[in-house]
Amino acid sequence: MTGTAYQTVPAQGDVGDFFALLKPRVMSLVVFTGFAGLVVAPGEIHPLLAAVAVFCIALASGAAGAINMWYDRDIDAVMERTRERPIPTGRVEPAEALTFGVILSAFAVMMMFLATNAVAAGLLAAAVLFYVFVYTVWLKRRTPQNIVIGGAAGAFPPAIGWAAVTGNVGIEAAILFALIFFWTPPHFWALALYRSQDYAAAGVPMLPVVRGARATKWQMLAYTVLLLPLALMPCIAGFASWVLYGSAAGILSGLFILSALHVLTDETDRSAKRMFGFSIFYLFALFGLLVADNALAMAA
């Protein structure tokens, strides 16, 4: 860690501060994609067990976020985007955050195992360990490809949801995993473009800091182009229809490419900010369409 100091006043964290450690905005996307994987998976699961599985995904995601905040407390104190988090402001002590995250992680994995099966629990544990040790500890401060490789952690939830129902991970779950994996770099680099001074000040080698804005924008465009055929793979694999999901996914992916082209030609931060917002909508929409498509197929 860097030698940056953070506030050391006596911690007076309340429930809201500990909830903030869970990164609830990030958690919402994780929970929804996990839920979508569970819904579109073939087979049946009791509604109560399904709810427990989704809760475990949320809990593990938040726990990993808390451990990430514990480890990154020094750079969080430097960055404008993160300096008001509970640990840098001294509202929660680092040891409390670490203990909170570890206990919640273990509880989530144990509950997933008891409620569903060993495969889903194993994937959940792998997601937490990957985010903490591979992304946070190993990659984030060492390579501009941090978010490319580390993004795999956020791609686990739909595969976990799928496994909770089926007890296995097939090609369909791999497609859902790949969708999020290839979506993550352009999504996160859009943020990094207009927050590059933050990352530079903290010594985090995000791609815009190391390679510059132009190279980052070209890579963002490349990933959005790759996402177009990938977004259509659920139709090719046979677990989504071309009529609803396929047509809408094609249009949305085309708009994502258009967003990347606007970023490429815009010398200001405006297009990057718009693309970051659209990227969140894009992923929510894709997985929402999968759920809606599945519901229509079941009703037919």
| HEC secondary structure over 160-206 | HHHHHHHCCCCHHHHHHHHHHHHHHHHHHHHHHHHCHHHHHHHCCCC
The class that CATH gives domain 13-169 is mainly alpha
Domain boundaries, the chain: 13-169, 171-300
**What does pTM read for this prediction?**
0.93
Query: For each of the chain's 300 residues, which pLDDT tens digit applies?
Result: 444 444 444 556 789 999 999 999 889 999 999 999 999 999 999 999 999 999 999 999 999 999 999 999 999 999 999 999 999 999 999 999 999 999 999 999 999 999 999 999 999 999 999 999 999 999 999 999 999 998 899 999 999 999 999 999 999 999 999 999 999 999 999 999 999 999 999 999 999 999 999 999 999 999 999 999 999 999 999 999 999 999 999 999 999 999 999 999 999 999 999 999 999 999 999 999 999 999 999 887
